[in-house]
Amino acid sequence: MASSHSSSPAPHSSRASSDGLYRKGSEPPSRHYRPVCLPDVCPKEPTGESRELCDGPSVVADQHRWTIYSSKVNLPAALNDPRLAKRESDFFTKTWGLDFVETEVMPSFYLPNITKEHFAPYLKETAQKEKIHERCKTICPNKDDPDSVSSITHNHEKAREELEQVPKIFMKPDFVLNDPVTFNAVLPWSHFSGASGKSRDGASSRLLQEKLSHYLDVVEVCIARQISLRSEAFFHAMSSQHALQDRLQETARAVSKLRGRMASMERVMCEGPLRALQQTRTRSNCVRLHSKLKLMAAVHQAQPTVQLLLSTSEFVGALELIATTKEVLQQELQGIHSFRHLGSQLCEMERLIDKMMVADFTTYAKSDLNRPFEEEGQILEKDRLQSLVFGLLRQRKLDFLDIYSEEIIQAAKGIVRQCVLQTVSQIDEIDPDVVMKVPEQMRLMAFSQWMDLLKSIFENFILFLKRIKATLSVIRGVVLELLDSSQRSRMMLERARAGPGGDERGGGGGRGGGGAAHLEEEEEDEEEDEPRDRHAARAGAEVAYLTHEGLFISDALNEAEQQQQQQERSSTASHTQSQAKRDACGSDSASATTESSSSREHMSSAASALPRGLASSLSEDMMPSDLELGRVANSVQDLLYTASDVSHDRCVKVLMARAKDASLERLSSAEFVQLSREVEAFVESTEKICGRRSVSLRGALQSQANRFVHRFHEERKTKLSLLLDNERWKQAEVPAEFQDLVNSIADGRIRLLNRKPSGSEDCIPSDYLIVDGQRYAVVGTVLLLIRILLEYCQCVNDIPSIATDMLTRLSDLLKHFNSRSCQLVLGAGALQVVGLKTITTKNLALASRCLQLVVHYIPIIRAHFETKLQPKQYSVLRHFDHITKDYNDHIAEISAKLVAIMDSLFEKLLSKYEVKAPMPSACFRNICKQMAKMHEAIYDLLPEEQTQMLFLRINAGFKLHLKRQLAKLGVVNDGGPQHGLVVVDVAFYTENVQALRSLERLDLNMAEIWEQKR
């Protein structure tokens, strides 16, 4: 059924509309139609007419419609409202004042003057459309016309009221009476299945029939009304259909006539030429078939040729033939049934060749690396190696260097094992059947035997690295040759593309006369053949559409163009191949030296039947890229570094096997120096061979050196601690060897002297150690400390690499001596440790003098270490500055202790002093007696300058205590009796002090004991 909501014809815009507004057709017509106008942009001015304003649009309800909010308004549009009856003349003056003057606006220079002639093309183009539009307006009423709109709206409302009588079920799009639910809703059987009788059933059925008939009438009336509204459009469409049918009949007759003429032309003009073309095509196909059969015969001989090449180990030639045959099968012989299995067979043979080459290279590496070092010649079968490397690179087996690396590791292990077996076989004390493990055998050797073993290992590894370097240089040469060849071929191809004529003729001038002439003739023949080829290609393109069997002529033309491009590429490739042959004339490749005459004949016979230019393109495609070749070349150099690292690692294993039971730590300095020198020589030799320093062996030696230094330091520190704990702090005699030792370093060069035999006549000990003309009274511990310090310096001379560590340990030793001696002497620790009754002034003075001797040698030791350190390590020398300061502070504390002893004595004696006869007093006699004892204790230990300085400080303390006592007693220098008695005592004190040795000229300045008069 037709829907009751039928829409009216689409409205057409009209410039003659009453209000000039556009209304969308989708708006439902209202029951009481009233024209709706849009509100003005600006409020209306009073014009004397009705001031009723139009209803404004709703933003929510009209969000998808065009409203005033979608418009853009400028100022002139707001000022020039055409609907205002009266224009305001004082719009600007009332706002800006009477001074505002209107001026005429000059026309813009950038805007053209638009006239009616500018719209003439547009009007001419749209004139026909406007006529059709006017004609359609007479057929379909305008929706903007109020009268027509009201009649349409009235008809729509009437149709809607009538259709509302029809139930909604008939309006559903899925209305079908097959559905039981729909059928029961339309024909309710409840009216027919009741028990009231047949009369009631008949009435119900008639009523239902009348109702359905009524519904049908309503729908038919609506349909008829719609048809009546659009009858003119229907009749117009029918008339247009009849005119179209007439035109189609005329066209069919014209086409039939044209086909008849074309058939006659085909019989007269085309059948003969086409037959000639077909025969030409048949002949060319036969020629191609013959060449294809010859190519098949050549491919058929490829397998036997490959087997023959493999029997002579010609891997490169076999791979080239396989690659060329596979390319021919893919390009020229694709789809041939007899060769359906040849491709897989060739691939299987290629994989077999890969395995054979890898196995052969592995065998070569093992035989090369494990052969005796006594054999002459560093390279084993150079031609075979070059051929294998070229074949592996040809197959992109770029991991063959990993195989060589693994063989290097195994060979390095074998070298160590063989050297150990040879050394053990010469030692009777070691039974190989009892001691099975190699590390245990090395630990059972004496140091000299183990050093001979280490030297032998070092020598073998140096020969081993030289052999590896020679082999890798051959491999690197093959890689660089391929890289250079690839770059040259690429440059020649670029020159051939840029200008294949002049450059190549100029490049061949330096060769032999006959060959150059022959090549120039070939070039001239090729240049003469090029116009013929282009002409043939054009002719083929012109007649391609005649012999083409497809649906579209454009396909035939495209095929002809592709054939022409392919011919041009093949000619360029052949030209490049001829240029490459000329450049390679007179030189042999690396693999050509191993070819036999039979293999070359088979290769030439097989390659002669292949398309020209294919082999060269194949070789370029199969070879690795320049980037890959560069990586292989770098890997070759890295492999040499790896060989050096492996050699060093195996030597480290030997070193660690010996050091497992701490035997290296128990070496003497001379033995450890011998070991370090051998290691340094080996490291320098490997660095010279490989061009890079390996750090593993040096690191292992440094680790052992650190352990050696630790043991060296701990032994001497323990020895020094035992000597200090047993030291009684009495002056010891100085053996002559110690004096000679001190004299030997007087020039600043530190070196240990060999000990003289004990029965020598010159070995007479002395009481003092003479150093730079000064006498040092020392204890026995300090003499051994000096020798220990020189041993540290000598160890640094022998092993410069441990200078930093040794300096730190030496600093620790010096600090230990300083702190322990301070504890024993100043701290009176010797009373409990050694059993001394008291710490005397002589003990203190002797300790001070020993410390001064050590301070004297600290700058010499510092200068010695500075020569062994790098400039960036000079910061560790600050330890000597700290140690010197600590020692000087210790010496000053001892001096202060001596002064404090006398101060306490002065304070005790002077506190009982009384100024009375007899003179000199007993107090001053005791003081002078103690001063003489002090002088006697230190005079032979300390130099005169220090003795004088010490007594000056003691005298200053005496004067301070005497001054306090005199002030307490009230004695002043007034010339009285008490003053005279004090002067006598002071004179006695001065006479006794100046009577002591080296104090005769000491200025005591005793006048300071009196208070100054104000």
Among 89-98, 121-130, 276-285, 378-387, which range has the highest average pLDDT?
Answer: 276-285
Q: At what angle do helices 447-498 and 400-425 cross, to 10 degrees?
A: 160
Task: Return d(Cα 141, Cα 176) in angstroms, integer.
Answer: 37
pLDDT at res. 82: 63
Q: What is the pTM of this model?
A: 0.50
Task: Return d(Cα 82, Cα 84) in angstroms, integer.
Answer: 6
- DSSP symbols for 375-405: SS-SSS-HHHHHHHHHHHHHTT-TTHHHHHH
Is the model's pLDDT at 603 over the cut of 50? no
Is the model's pLDDT at 468 over the cut of 60? yes
Task: Return d(Cα 922, Cα 929) in angstroms, integer.
Answer: 10
Specify burial of residue 289 (Cβ count, 10 A radius: 0-12, 13-18, 19+): exposed
CA distances from 680 to 467, 673, 677, 872 (A): 21, 10, 5, 22
Task: State mean pLDDT over 706-726.
Answer: 88
- Weakest-pLDDT range from 162-166, 358-362, 521-525, 906-910: 521-525
pLDDT at res. 600: 43
- Weakest-pLDDT range from 288-292, 618-622, 767-771: 618-622
pLDDT bin (cut points 50, 70, 90) of residue 888 is very high
Among 111-115, 446-450, 473-477, 820-824, which range has the highest average pLDDT?
Answer: 820-824
pLDDT bin (cut points 50, 70, 90) of residue 540 is very low
Record the tokens describing residue 60, joined without a space: 């929510």
Is the model's pLDDT at 926 over the cut of 90? yes
Is the model's pLDDT at 814 over the cut of 90? yes
Is the model's pLDDT at 347 over the cut of 90? no
Task: Return d(Cα 789, Cα 794) in angstroms, integer.
Answer: 9
CB 357 within 8 Å of CB 391: yes
Better-scored residue on pLDDT, 788 or 541: 788
Residue 734 has what DSSP assignment? B
- DSSP symbols for 858-901: HHHHHHHHHHHS-GGGGGGGHHHHHHHHHHHHHHHHHHHHHHHH
Task: Return d(Cα 493, Cα 491) in angstroms, integer.
Answer: 5
Task: State mean pLDDT over 150-162.
Answer: 72
pLDDT at res. 1005: 85
Among 155-164, 290-299, 317-326, 608-617, which range has the highest average pLDDT?
Answer: 290-299
Is the model's pLDDT at 291 over the cut of 80? yes
CA distances from 123 to 155, 781, 895 (A): 38, 128, 127
* Segment holding 769, helix H or strand E: strand 769-771
Task: Return d(Cα 142, Cα 144) in angstroms, integer.
Answer: 5
Q: Which amino acid is at 788?
A: I
Record the tokens describing residue 608, joined without a space: 């002669």
Specify burial of residue 143 (Cβ count, 10 A radius: 0-12, 13-18, 19+): buried
Better-scored residue on pLDDT, 301 or 93: 301
| Tally of CB atoms within 10 A around 413 | 13
Q: What percent of the chain has pLDDT over 90?
A: 14
pLDDT bin (cut points 50, 70, 90) of residue 566 is low
Task: Return d(Cα 641, Cα 694) in angstroms, integer.
Answer: 8
Q: State the average pLDDT for the chain.
A: 75
- Weakest-pLDDT range from 116-120, 457-461, 701-705: 701-705
Is the model's pLDDT at 175 over the cut of 80? yes
Task: Return d(Cα 966, Cα 970) in angstroms, integer.
Answer: 6
CA 32 from chain centre, in angstroms, equals 81
Long-range contact set of residues 488-491: C-beta below 8 Å, sequence gap at least 24? 488/583, 489/580, 489/616, 489/620
Contacts of 966 (CB under 8 A, 6+ apart): 972, 982, 1009, 1010
Task: Return d(Cα 93, Cα 955) in angstroms, integer.
Answer: 117
Q: What percent of the chain has pLDDT over 70?
A: 70
Place of tokens 């150093």: 771
Is the model's pLDDT at 97 over the cut of 90? no
Task: Return d(Cα 139, Cα 208) in angstroms, integer.
Answer: 41
**Among candidates 775, 729, 782, 769, which has minimal Cα distance to 943?**
775
Is the model's pLDDT at 363 over the cut of 80? yes
CB 639 within 8 Å of CB 404: yes
pLDDT bin (cut points 50, 70, 90) of residue 201 is low
Is the model's pLDDT at 60 over the cut of 70? no
Residue 770 has what DSSP assignment? E
| pLDDT tens for each residue of 653-687 | 888 877 776 667 667 777 787 888 888 888 888 88
Better-scored residue on pLDDT, 377 or 590: 377
Print the SS3 string covering 992-1006: HHHCCCCCCCCCCCH
| pLDDT tens for each residue of 207-231 | 888 888 888 888 888 888 877 777 7
Place of tokens 């000229």: 1001
Q: 770 — phi, psi (to 5°)? A: -90, 120
CB 511 within 8 Å of CB 582: yes
- DSSP symbols for 520-538: HHHHHHHHHHHHHHHHHHH
Task: Return d(Cα 575, Cα 642) in angstroms, integer.
Answer: 46
Task: Return d(Cα 711, Cα 445) in angstroms, integer.
Answer: 22
Classify strands 774-776 and 769-771 as parallel, antiparallel or unpaired.
antiparallel
CA 320 from chain centre, in angstroms, equals 39
Place of tokens 């070059």: 386
pLDDT at res. 45: 39
| pLDDT tens for each residue of 834-869 | 888 888 999 999 999 999 999 999 999 999 899 888
Is the model's pLDDT at 47 over the cut of 80? no
Among 98-102, 124-128, 282-286, which range has the highest average pLDDT?
Answer: 282-286
| pLDDT tens for each residue of 120-150 | 999 988 888 888 878 777 766 565 666 655 6
| Tally of CB atoms within 10 A around 172 | 11
